[in-house]
Structure 1
Amino acid sequence: MIAPHFDLIYLYSWAVVLLLFFLSGAFVLFAAYFRLDQMEEHFIASYVVGINRRILGNGPFGRMRRVREIGTLTGRLTHVQMLDLHAVMEAETFPEHLKKWLRIPGYLFQFGVTGAALLLLWLGIGWICVTVSRPANDLQLLGIAGLIACLFLGLMAAFAKVWVSFFRLAEIESLLKKSYFVARNQRVLGNGAYGRYCRLSHISHMLLMDDDFLSKSDPFAMDEVAGFPSHLRRLVVIPARILAYSFLGYLVIHLGGKAFGVFT
């Protein structure tokens, strides 16, 4: 009697996640047709906003993409946007009455992604438990051990990043005082759990960037990045790499095992 109830809860949970994505898209669609022109008028010197207006067009999906690009400029940046410093600076003074049309769908989308990730984690753990309970050959056991190792390493790396973001982030950011983006992230992303995690993730990207990209996006931080202490560099970079490699390893083992008939 317990298992069917869990299956029903699981299905309802996916329904809630899909509803969050739908509501997020609905807000973006409304903003795309009734607020986008006002949003883009704010970006006078931005190359990214101007090129998106020409490339993405005025169709519904194009206008929604343009809204999402502006929303990203007011939150966690992408690598391409880092190359347009004028757009990032203009986004810091974005009007509050327009920003709410970016924040609400952003929050809904973040909740949806978080929920989907937790449900996929639940599905993966449940699948591993069911597979382990059945008779298995040596190759299957090896694959299951690899999946468990990737899952464990990924969770440990995520917890490590959260710990660093709460207890070592101030020390890390104090060594990058000349970086515009580090100071900008402090102002824009705030001190919440998500904001601190994003600030740490941005620093990990800075430490992994090549000099050519850094010279174009954040040139004043190059000397500080080059002289960044090795023990703190490892503290920032290693968990980020482990998290990425463990996720990739889990996908490769799971999909490879399915494709070659190891997991039946």
Structure 2
Amino acid sequence: MAQIALTIAGSDSGGGAGIQADLKAMSALGVYGASVITAVTAQNTQAVTAVHGIPLDVISAQIEAVLGDLDVKAIKIGMLATPDIIHCVAAALEGYSGPIVLDPVMVAKSGDALLADNAVATLRDVLIPRATVLTPNLPEAARLLGLSDAQDRTQMTAQGYALCDVGAQAVLMKGGHATGDICHDILVSGEEVRAELAAPRRKTGNTHGTGCTLSSAIAAGLAKGFTLTKAVQEAHRYLQAAICAADELHIGNGHGPVHHFHPFWPA
């Protein structure tokens, strides 16, 4: 029997991030992916040129349709865009007791905003307390806390603990925006470092959708019944291989996507 994970996120017309990346990652990892679209973006590897939020009743209806029929073992939440959409998703998930991976999507790889300024506090107050694991990059963590970006692993760990204090059961602090030849991700829970993952920093511009891919890969692992630590470790390994293979794809003229299906077909 297939394990099922649900992604609640925005659509990327370029196919490299958002719902499209989530479903590719889940499929590559052997999990059936269902989806709830919260926004449609006109987007490619260079820019986001338009964003259209899905009506709230349609978002709720999608969630109710999926959870009313499919045995969803884990949920990934990505782009939510506005306070109203955040409240809508939180209300629709009220009866769901499975693990939730919350990726606080704020800015596209192109630099275009995907979360309204007035939605940051709502995301922090309404959804972070529902998260089994929160997966912010360094600018996202800093914005959620009203601080400057963490500059080293000590500050990353401290900000992870602070986000646990906000209500997340665990936080994966992603170090992709840091400097240095080695990229560090740190998984914390409460006042404990549960795992630290390190990988060489790859010299590539094709990293569009890395955050979406990692969070959905974690959700896939949780849907399979992995512990959170194992799900994060396996997702990290999968993403690093997808980044290594990204330059083989040659998609678009800007920030290209990672290669989600690197285990199955060469570019």
Q: TM-score, normalised by structure 2?
A: 0.24
Which one has the bigger strand percentage? 2
Q: Judging by fraction of residues, say which structure has more helix.
A: 1
For the pair shown, the structure with the greater C-alpha radius of gyration is: 1
- TM-score computed with the length of structure 1 as normaliser: 0.24
